[in-house]
């Protein structure tokens, strides 16, 4: 099968990937690749909103300081300043694309946008579309991208690996091998520039708020291609996922706590004021650890989130999606508290990029949850992530346009070779190892860690990786095998990073080193054997 060639190959179709494609000129040939349907990804399920300084009473400096404080000393201040400054323009860009943000005529100082407040923010600065902001953003951008004749959409395709040159003198990314999930064939995609917008890696844990596609593919592929990764120990656990057998990944937005919801023990006692003066509005790492502590102390299966003290009309206006979903499960949030537990939610680390979204491999960019920009530090502040992906996709688009004319076309590359592999004979190897990985990561590399648990996880991850490498070498690839291989790669990066950080900071909390260490105020950077310093 001949290679499929474009100017730009974008792997991922969430807010990062689609906004980048929409910002590129219409004379640029673009491929947008999605593992499943175009809209299926974390963006679609984001409830809360996007943080930006829109109110006259707020300020860029206040947003910057809130972000730095939440990041526990590890944010890169210049990056934070740049992203926050670009916030209002990016909100206006989304509005121009047709995103229907919630409006309120009373908010004249915010241009008519209704703003809410979430954990870590000292002002109301979260613009939203009721309680389904991600759905509004994703479906709007999807509708726009489907009208662009220069954009080819490849749904039901999963990347197997990046294609890079072998020569040290001409090291660059040339494209990717993609498995067509419908035909079962591996196809060769070539491009001048490749963008990783594949999202995070939270399916590495047993309990997660993320959809099934969040398997760390971009991070793992970039690592194998020679990119450095940073801060992989900082995996954010959202404090409040619905605890119900029919809704294991359903997120309960932080905006409820921003609008006055209380966290309660099974006996009805409110407990967050005992852990932090900000109570339910403390940053997510503090709230998640507090819930984890109380559940373990009491042997409780869950705690409860209660907003029923607010007027029913207020709840229905602000949280119609959450109310409707809970009602389907027999919970009326206007009257009843919701059972909740923490769950893996956001990958704060990722592939290292510069301010133009360039990775270490020339021709390869990364944006969104796949990337490490320096914004989040040791803990992501609520609603900063969609802002980050918009700003860095904007930067990547501008850089690609500037370099496109002078960047060489990719040379011929070998087609995917399946001549020495056969059909898988024991799929149970993949399913068993998948389940074992996610369980030991939850038990040993979760909200609270110890070195003993981390070394135990490392031994198990190494053993499973050897089994999967052997399996990968002998059998045709399929979706589950590709994802498992990537998750094992990412799990190892998380464990290695956690072992290197010998302190407790932000999302990384270890009983062996329960205090911060001022000497460790720098990112945890892992360097692959194939790393080459970038020359461009």
| Statement to judge: residues 330 and 247 lie in one domain | yes
325-347: buried (b, 16+ CB within 10 Å) or exposed (e) per residue?
A: bbeeeebebbeebbbbbbbbbbb
| Statement to judge: residues 48 and 179 lie in one domain | yes
**Residue 257 exposure: Cα atoms within 13 Å on the Cβ side:** 29
Query: Within 10 A of 404 (CB to CB), how many other CB atoms are there?
Result: 16
| Statement to judge: residues 340 and 366 lie in one domain | no
- 418 within some domain: no
The CATH number that applies at residue 155 is 3.50.50.60
- H-helix or E-strand containing 304? strand 303-306
| Statement to judge: residues 303 and 369 lie in one domain | no
| Statement to judge: residues 65 and 118 lie in one domain | yes
> What 3-state class would DSSP assign to 238?
strand
β-pairing, 338-347 vs 303-306, is antiparallel
- 295 within some domain: yes
Quote the DSSP letter at residue 267: T
Q: What are the backbone dihedrals phi and psi of residue 180, each rounded to the nearest 5 degrees, phi first?
A: -75, 110
Distance CA 127, CA 66 (A): 17
Q: What are the backbone dihedrals phi and psi of residue 72, each rounded to the nearest 5 degrees, phi first?
A: 55, 35
| Statement to judge: residues 359 and 275 lie in one domain | no
- 294 within some domain: yes
Distance CA 180, CA 186 (A): 6
| Statement to judge: residues 389 and 322 lie in one domain | no
| Statement to judge: residues 278 and 197 lie in one domain | no
Residue whose structure tokens are 């509708």: 143
The CATH number that applies at residue 285 is 3.90.700.10
Burial class (CB in 10 A: 0-12, 13-18, 19+), 208: buried
408-434: buried (b, 16+ CB within 10 Å) or exposed (e) per residue?
A: eebeeeeebeeeeeeebeeeebbeebb
- Based on its alpha-carbon atoms, the radius of gyration of the chain, rounded to whole angstroms, reads 22
| Statement to judge: residues 195 and 127 lie in one domain | yes
| Statement to judge: residues 183 and 90 lie in one domain | yes
Distance CA 38, CA 28 (A): 20
User: What pLDDT tens digit does each residue of the chain (536 aa) get?
Assistant: 899 999 999 999 999 999 999 999 999 999 999 999 999 999 998 888 999 999 989 999 999 999 999 999 999 999 999 999 999 999 999 999 999 999 876 766 667 889 988 878 999 999 999 889 999 999 999 999 999 999 999 999 999 999 999 776 778 999 999 999 999 999 999 999 999 999 999 999 988 989 899 999 999 999 999 999 999 999 999 899 999 988 877 889 888 998 999 999 999 999 999 999 999 998 888 899 999 889 889 989 999 999 999 999 999 999 999 999 999 999 999 999 999 999 999 999 999 999 999 999 999 999 999 999 999 999 999 899 999 999 999 999 999 999 999 999 999 999 998 877 877 766 778 888 999 999 999 989 999 999 999 999 999 999 999 999 988 888 889 999 999 999 999 999 999 999 999 999 999 999 999 999 999 999 999 999 999 988 76
* Cβ atoms 303, 337 nearer than 8 A: no
In sequence order, the 6+-apart residues with CB closer than 8 A to the CB of 119 are 254, 257, 258, 278, 280, 281, 282, 283, 284, 287, 381, 382
Of 321, 345, 369, the domain-final residue:
345
Tally of domains in the chain: 3
| Statement to judge: residues 114 and 9 lie in one domain | yes
- 412 within some domain: no
Of 298, 318, 345, the domain-final residue:
345
- 421 within some domain: no
Query: Within 10 A of 381 (CB to CB), how many other CB atoms are there?
Result: 25
- 166 within some domain: yes
* Cβ atoms 106, 409 nearer than 8 A: no
In sequence order, the 6+-apart residues with CB closer than 8 A to the CB of 191 are 5, 6, 7, 8, 9, 31, 174, 175, 410
| Statement to judge: residues 203 and 263 lie in one domain | no
Largest Cα separation within the chain, whole Å, is 68
Number of residues that this document lists for the chain? 536
- 287 within some domain: yes
Burial class (CB in 10 A: 0-12, 13-18, 19+), 104: exposed
118-133: buried (b, 16+ CB within 10 Å) or exposed (e) per residue?
A: bbbbebbbbbbbbbbb
In sequence order, the 6+-apart residues with CB closer than 8 A to the CB of 240 are 251, 252, 254, 256, 257, 263, 305, 338, 340, 341, 342
Q: How far is CA 470 from the centre of its chain?
A: 29
> What 3-state class would DSSP assign to 379?
coil
- 536 within some domain: no
Residues that are catalytic: 284
Of 326, 345, 364, the domain-final residue:
345
The CATH number that applies at residue 506 is 1.20.58.100
User: Which residue segment(s) compose the domain that 197 sits in?
Assistant: 4-233+348-403
- The pTM score is 0.92
Residue whose structure tokens are 């970038």: 534
* Tokens read off for 91: 């909100």
Sign of the torsion formed by the C-alpha atoms of 161, 162, 165 and 171: negative
């Amino acid at each position: 099968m001949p290679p499929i060639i474009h100017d730009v190959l974008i792997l991922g179709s969430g807010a990062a990937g689609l906004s980048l494609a929409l910002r590129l000129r219409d004379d640029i040939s673009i491929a947008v690749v999605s593992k499943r349907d175009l809209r299926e990804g974390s963006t679609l399920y984001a409830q809360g909103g996007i943080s930006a300084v829109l109110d006259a009473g707020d300020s860029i400096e206040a947003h910057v300081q809130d972000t730095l404080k939440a990041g526990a000393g590890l944010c890169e201040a210049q990056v934070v300043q740049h992203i926050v400054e670009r916030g209002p323009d990016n909100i206006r860009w989304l509005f121009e694309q047709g995103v229907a943000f919630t409006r309120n005529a009373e908010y004249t100082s915010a241009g008519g946008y209704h703003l809410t407040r979430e954990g870590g923010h000292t002002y109301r600065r979260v613009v939203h579309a009721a309680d389904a902001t991600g759905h509004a953003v994703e479906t709007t951008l999807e509708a726009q991208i489907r009208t662009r004749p220069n954009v080819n959409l490849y749904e039901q395709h999963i990347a197997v690996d990046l294609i890079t040159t072998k020569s040290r003198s001409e090291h660059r990314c040339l494209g990717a091998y993609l498995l067509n999930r419908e035909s079962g064939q591996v196809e060769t995609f070539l491009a001048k520039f490749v963008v990783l917008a594949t999202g995070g890696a939270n399916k590495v844990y047993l309990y997660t708020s993320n959809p099934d596609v969040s398997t760390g593919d971009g991070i793992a592929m970039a690592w194998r291609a020679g990119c450095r990764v940073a801060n992989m120990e900082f995996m954010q656990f959202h404090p409040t996922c619905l605890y119900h057998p029919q809704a294991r990944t359903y997120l309960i937005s932080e905006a409820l706590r921003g609008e006055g919801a209380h966290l309660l023990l099974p006996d009805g006692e409110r407990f967050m004021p005992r852990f932090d003066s900000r109570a339910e509005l403390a940053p997510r790492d503090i709230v998640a650890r507090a819930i984890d502590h109380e559940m373990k102390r009491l042997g409780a299966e869950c705690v409860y989130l209660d907003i029923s003290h607010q007027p029913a009309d207020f709840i229905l206006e602000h949280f119609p999606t959450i109310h409707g979903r809970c009602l389907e499960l027999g919970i009326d949030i206007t009257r009843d508290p919701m059972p909740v537990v923490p769950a893996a939610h956001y990958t704060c680390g990722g592939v290292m990029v510069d301010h133009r979204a360039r990775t270490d491999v020339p021709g390869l960019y990364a944006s969104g949850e796949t990337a490490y920009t320096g914004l989040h530090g040791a803990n992501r502040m609520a609603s900063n992530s969609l802002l980050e992906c918009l700003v860095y996709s904007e930067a990547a688009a501008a850089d690609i346009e500037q370099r496109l004319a002078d960047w060489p076309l990719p040379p011929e590359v070998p087609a995917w070779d399946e001549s020495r592999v056969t059909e898988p004979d024991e799929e149970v190897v993949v399913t068993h190892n998948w389940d074992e990985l996610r369980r030991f990561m939850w038990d040993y590399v979760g909200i609270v860690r110890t070195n003993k648990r981390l070394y135990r996880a490392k031994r198990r991850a190494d053993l499973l990786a050897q089994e999967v490498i052997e399996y990968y070498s002998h059998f045709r690839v399929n979706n589950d095998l590709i994802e498992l291989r990537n998750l094992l790669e990412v799990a190892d990066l998380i464990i290695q990073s956690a072992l290197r950080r010998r302190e407790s900071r932000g999302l990384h909390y270890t009983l062996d080193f329960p205090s911060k260490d001022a000497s460790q105020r720098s990112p945890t950077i892992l360097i692959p054997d194939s790393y080459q310093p970038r020359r461009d």
